[in-house]
Amino acid sequence: MALFARKDRKTAPGADEALGLFLFDAVNDALSAERVLKAAGYEVSLVAPPAHLRAGCDLSVALPRVEHIGAERELIDAGVPLREWVADAEGTAEVCDLVTSVDFGQWLMVRAGNMKIVVEKDTGLIVNTSGGGCPDIPYLNLALVGKRVDEVPRPKDLGYTLCGLMLDRAYQEVRAQLDAREMETVGVGGGAV
Amino acid sequence: MTLLVIATYPVVDGPVLEGPVTIEPDGAIAIGGTRVPSSQGTSAMLGAAVQVAAHLGTPPPHALVAGDIGRGDGTRAVYERLSEAVKRIGPSVIAFHYMQPVMALMRKAVHELAEIAPDALLVADAGGMYAAKAAGLATRFELMTPDVGEVGFLADPEVTHPAYVSHYLFGNDGFDPVALAATAHETGGASRVLLIKGVRDHIAEYGAIAEVVDEPCVPELEAIGGTGDTVAGLASAFLAAGFPTVDAARCASLANREAGRAMGATPAMHASDLVAALPGVLADNLCRWGGACVV
Please choose, from the candidates A117, A72, A81, A113, the residue with its C-alpha nearest in 3D space to the C-alpha of residue A94. A113
Using one digit for the tens of pLDDT, what is the confidence trace for B240-260? 999 999 999 999 999 999 999
Q: Is B205 on the interface with A (CB under 8 A)?
A: no
- Closest partner residue to B103 (CB to CB) among A55, A106, A135 is A55
**Contact (CB<8Å) A130/B43:** no
pLDDT of residue A26: 81
* Number of C-beta neighbours around residue B198 at 10 A: 18
pLDDT of residue B291: 59
The mean pLDDT of chain B is 93
pLDDT of residue A113 exceeding 90, the answer is no
pLDDT of residue A36 exceeding 70, the answer is yes
**A105: Cα within 13 Å, side-chain hemisphere:** 5
Q: Is A55 on the interface with B (CB under 8 A)?
A: yes
pLDDT of residue A174: 96
Using one digit for the tens of pLDDT, what is the confidence trace for B261-274? 999 999 999 999 99
**Contact (CB<8Å) A118/B268:** yes
Chain B residues 92-151 within an 8 A CB cutoff of chain A = 98-104, 125-131, 134, 147, 149-150
pLDDT of residue A7: 45
pLDDT of residue A178 exceeding 70, the answer is yes
pLDDT of residue A57: 66
CA pair distance B40, A128, nearest whole angstrom: 9
- Closest partner residue to A135 (CB to CB) among B69, B165, B170 is B69
Average pLDDT (A85-102) is 82
pLDDT of residue A159: 86
pLDDT of residue A1: 35
pLDDT of residue A177 exceeding 90, the answer is yes
- Chain B closest CA to A123's CA: distance in Å? 13
Q: Is B264 on the interface with A (CB under 8 A)?
A: no
pLDDT of residue A3 exceeding 50, the answer is no
A159: chain B residues, CB-CB within 8 Å: 70
CA pair distance A174, A117, nearest whole angstrom: 8
B93 DSSP assignment: E
C-beta of residue B168 within 8 angstroms of C-beta of residue B152? yes
- Strands B193-196 and B143-144 turn out to be parallel
**Contact (CB<8Å) B149/A135:** no
CA pair distance B237, B278, nearest whole angstrom: 13
> Phi and psi at residue A11, in whole multiples of 5°?
-75, 145
**Contact (CB<8Å) A162/B41:** no
Choose from A50-54, B89-93, B168-172 the range with maximum mean pLDDT: B89-93
> Phi and psi at residue A120, in whole multiples of 5°?
-80, 125
Which parts of chain A are beta strand (E)? 19-23, 45-48, 60-64, 84-86, 93-94, 99-103, 107-112, 115-120, 126-131
B165: chain A residues, CB-CB within 8 Å: 96, 113
Bond preceding residue B15 cis, omega within 30 of 0: no
pLDDT of residue A152 exceeding 90, the answer is yes
Using one digit for the tens of pLDDT, what is the confidence trace for B187-227? 999 999 999 999 999 999 999 999 999 999 999 999 999 99
The enclosing H or E element of B104 equals helix B103-116
pLDDT of residue B97 exceeding 80, the answer is yes
CA pair distance B134, A24, nearest whole angstrom: 18
B170: chain A residues, CB-CB within 8 Å: 98, 100, 111
CA pair distance A103, A118, nearest whole angstrom: 10
